[in-house]
Amino acid sequence: MAIAAGGSDPRPLRRSGGAPGGQVQTESDHQMPRAIIDFRNVTKTYHVESGDVKVLKGVKLRISAGEFVALMGPSGSGKSTLLNIMGCLDTPSSGTYMLDGIDVGSLKETQLADIRNKKIGFIFQNFNLIRRATVLRNVEIPMIYSLKENRQAVAEDLVRYVGLGHRMHHRPNQLSGGEQQRVAIARALVNDPAIILADEPTGSIDSHTGEKIMALLKNLHEEGNTIVVVTHDEYVAQMTNRIIRIRDGRIIREDWILHW
Ligand code: ADP
Ligand code: MG
C-alpha cells in the first residue's frame, strides 16, 4: 500500500491481516459490522460557578471498526467534548459509552488509562508536544508507559513514516505547524492503536499541508484503523466515509459518502 511519506510501509509493528482494528469478529456479530464505538444516550454536563452547562444532550452514535468518520459542527457545539469522551479522556454524565464492547463507565481510572494507552491514539488540536524534547523523544514518550522494547527504533520508523526523517533531532519550535502536527500523529501511533481520534488536525495549517495530514489519516484508515476526525473543512470531511453533524450537543444529521 502506498503511503504519503513515500516508499513502502516502514513501520515494524503494524498488524498484518485480520479484521479492521486487528480484532477478530465472532459468530455473534452476525452480518452487522462490530461497533467499536457505541454511544447510548450520552450526556455531558459541566458544573461551573454560574450553573450547569449542558454540553451533550443525549448522543446516540455507533461507529464500526474500520470506519473513517468526520465530526462537524459550529464552535461550542460539543465536538471536542464528544471526542474526549470517545478517547476516555472524559466520562459521560449519564448514558453509556461502550468501547469495543466494554462499558467505559464501569472502569476505574487506572483501567481507563490502560485503554487510552493501548487502544487510542489522540491527536490534539494544539499538538501538545513537549517543547524541550526532540521530535524523536516526543514520539518515544508514550512508549515509556507501555514497556515496549526497541522504543527508539519504533519512534524512528514512525517519524520517517510521517515524512520527518530529516527532522528527528529538531525541537517543536524549529518546525512548521504542519510538521508539528505530523509529529503529533507519529506520537499517536506508537502503541499501535485501533482507534485514532483527531481534533481539528488541519485547523491551524495551510490547505496544502492539510492535504498531507489527511493523506496520512486516509492511509491509516486503509490499513484498518478506525478514525474520527473533527473538522470545520467540508473538503476534509468529504475525504471520509461518513459525516456526522452536531449542533448544540445533539447529532442533527449523518451523511454516508461513497468513493468510487
Ligand atoms: P467544540 O469542540 O464543538 O467547539 P466543546 O466540546 O469544546 O465544543 O465545548 C462545548 C461547550 O462546552 C462550550 O460552550 C464550552 O464552553 C463548554 N465546555 C467545554 N469544556 C468545559 C469545561 N471543562 N467546563 C465548563 N464548560 C465547558
Ligand atoms: Mg473543539
The ligand 1 atom nearest the CA atom of 74: 3
pLDDT interval class at 188 (50, 70, 90): very high
The alpha carbon of 100 and the centre of ligand 1 are apart by a number of angstroms equal to 26
Q: Whose CA is nearest to atom 19 of ligand 1?
A: 81
Strands 35-48 and 250-256: unpaired
The ligand 1 atom nearest the CA atom of 53: 26
| Residue corresponding to grid cell 515524512 | 163
| Residue corresponding to grid cell 520508523 | 157
Residue from 215, 211, 181, 187 nearest 199 by CA: 181
pLDDT interval class at 32 (50, 70, 90): low
Pairwise CA distance, residues 112 & 94, whole Å? 17
Ligand 1 contacts CB of residue 75 (under 6 A) = yes
The alpha carbon of 250 and the centre of ligand 2 are apart by a number of angstroms equal to 15
What pLDDT score does 16 carry? 36
The alpha carbon of 112 and the centre of ligand 1 are apart by a number of angstroms equal to 22
What pLDDT score does 205 carry? 78
Ligand 1 contacts CB of residue 102 (under 6 A) = no
How many degrees, rounded to 5, is the angle at CA 228 between CA 26 and CA 131? 125
Pairwise CA distance, residues 241 & 247, whole Å? 20
Report the residue count for the chain. 260
CB atoms within 10 A of CB 38: 19
Q: Which domains occur in the chain, in start order?
A: 67-91+106-256 (3.40.50.300)
Q: What is the DSSP letter of 149?
A: S
Cα 205 to Cα 53, 167, 196, 209: the distances in Å are 31, 18, 20, 6
Q: What is the DSSP letter of 173?
A: G
Average pLDDT, the chain: 87
Q: Which ligand is nearest to the CA of 71?
A: 1
Pairwise CA distance, residues 243 & 245, whole Å? 6
